[in-house]
Amino acid sequence: MVAPAVEPEERELEAALRPKNLDDFVGQERVRKQLSLVLAASKIRGRSADHVLMSGPPGLGKTTLAMIVAAEMNAPLRISSGPAIQHAGDLAAILSSLTEGEVLFLDEIHRMSRPAEEMLYMAMEDFRVDIIVGKGAGATAIPLELPSFTLVGATTRAGLLPGPLRDRFGFTGHLEFYSVAELELVLRRSAGMLDLKLTSAGFSEIAGRSRGTPRIANRLLRRVRDWALVHGIETIDARSASAALDMYEVDVRGLDRLDRSVLEALVNKFNGGPVGLSTLAIAVGEESETVETVAEPFLVREGLLGRTPRGRIALPAAWEHLGLRMPGNAVA
């Protein structure tokens, strides 16, 4: 249930819960202050804001911040993504249809094709692109002037961006995982909008299971809301929240079924490892990629799983979390 696939109704709710301005945006103090300065300065200058790069794991608010940049600048927003731009022509079509001051949000910007990326360098710097007409020796470059625009790029992997692209952003904001206290604020705001009543302990219970991620916090809140509705509960306390989330197999540390089965396989079938990723994936009946990209980052961050040159290992906290004693011969 913490997988990225989102139902249409869920998507609508997610959109409704998005903060619309910097004041409503919870946490990320540093990024908020820096961004607010960049926007204020460009408003004073009467020019479109510098290009902004947002980096950080999924669900921490990159898209939300792009929308806020557009709203604060009173500018329209165009949304596209790296994987959707496979040819330079795809990018040229988007850039040439922008209006003066428009904000262009490019999600997963690290996945854009090389030729498009090179076109973007010039567009970001000089608000101009060269459209190549013809092929081979007869090819000519026709310069095309662009309106000034603000590019907001988002990436989960800032390290994958080539230096020349990274350098063309005037400001880079690194989004961090949220503390439990910040997630409680996100949840309070969302509960207000959904007309839900929770006790403080109810909020804490959900926040603690949300993996430092507002998108997950909001999703768990919606599951708890469903549970409370069906059980006729008006005010959701810690016990109700906990019962609801246990039912959805999200445990007290936010591990879901896949996370737990990875740890259980490591511990029960391989005595805590080391074991290769593909063997581990077969043991839990999943694709290697799913284990590597969906479960592992969180388990590593939580200090439950380690990656070694010889394979994955269960760390002492994993045995403890599963209520097991780590045998003396286990590697950790």
As measured in angstroms, the least distance from the Cβ of 28 to ligand ATP is 6
Is 58 a binder of ligand ATP (CB under 6 A)? yes
**323: Cβ contacts below 8 Å, ≥ 6 apart:** none
**Annotated catalytic residue 63:** yes
Applying CB under 6 A, among 22, 38, 39, 60 the residue interacting with ligand ATP is 60
Q: From the candidates 64, 150, 155, 156, which is the catalytic residue? A: 156
Contact stretch for ligand ATP (CB under 6 A) within 53-61, 80-88, 203-211, 224-232 = 53-61
Cβ proximity to ligand ATP: between 179 and 278 the closer is 179
As measured in angstroms, the least distance from the Cβ of 213 to ligand ATP is 8
Place of tokens 């469903």: 226
**Annotated catalytic residue 215:** yes
As measured in angstroms, the least distance from the Cβ of 18 to ligand ATP is 4
Cβ proximity to ligand ATP: between 28 and 319 the closer is 28
Q: What is the largest CA-CA distance in the chain?
A: 74
What is the spatial distance between Cα 119 and Cα 168, in angstroms, rounded to a whole number?
A: 13
> In the window 245-284, what residues touch ligand ATP (CB under 6 A)?
none
As measured in angstroms, the least distance from the Cβ of 154 to ligand ATP is 6
Is 70 a binder of ligand ATP (CB under 6 A)? no
- Reference 245, options 235, 198, 253, 290; nearest CA is 253
**309: Cβ contacts below 8 Å, ≥ 6 apart:** none
- Reference 38, options 73, 67, 64, 74; nearest CA is 73
Angle in degrees, CA 148, 105, 182, rounded to 5: 125
Contact stretch for ligand ATP (CB under 6 A) within 10-18, 251-259, 269-277, 310-318 = 10-18
Nearest residue to ligand ATP, by Cβ distance, number only: 61
**Annotated catalytic residue 150:** no
Is 14 a binder of ligand ATP (CB under 6 A)? yes
- Reference 272, options 262, 281, 282; nearest CA is 262
Strand locations in the chain, DSSP E?
A: 52-55, 77-81, 103-107, 128-133, 140-145, 150-155, 171-174, 197-198, 235-236, 305-308, 311-314
SS3 assignment, position 222 = helix
Size of the site for ligand ATP (CB under 6 A): 21
52 phi/psi in degrees, rounded to 5 = -125, 135
> In the window 185-244, what residues touch ligand ATP (CB under 6 A)?
186, 214-215, 218
**77: Cβ contacts below 8 Å, ≥ 6 apart:** 66, 67, 70, 102, 103, 104, 105
As measured in angstroms, the least distance from the Cβ of 58 to ligand ATP is 3
Per-residue string for binding with ligand ATP, 107-126, x by CB under 6 A?
Answer: x-------------------
Q: From the candidates 107, 168, 172, 260, which is the catalytic residue? A: 107
Contact stretch for ligand ATP (CB under 6 A) within 17-25, 196-204, 282-290, 309-317 = 17-25
Cβ proximity to ligand ATP: between 210 and 242 the closer is 210
**Annotated catalytic residue 128:** no
Q: From the candidates 215, 219, 225, 312, which is the catalytic residue? A: 215
- Reference 259, options 287, 294, 223; nearest CA is 294
Which 8-state DSSP code applies to residue 211?
T
Task: Please give the residue ranges that form the binding site for ligand ATP (CB under 6 A).
Answer: 14, 17-19, 25-28, 58-64, 107, 154, 186, 214-215, 218
Supply the residues annotated as catalytic. 62-63, 107, 156, 215
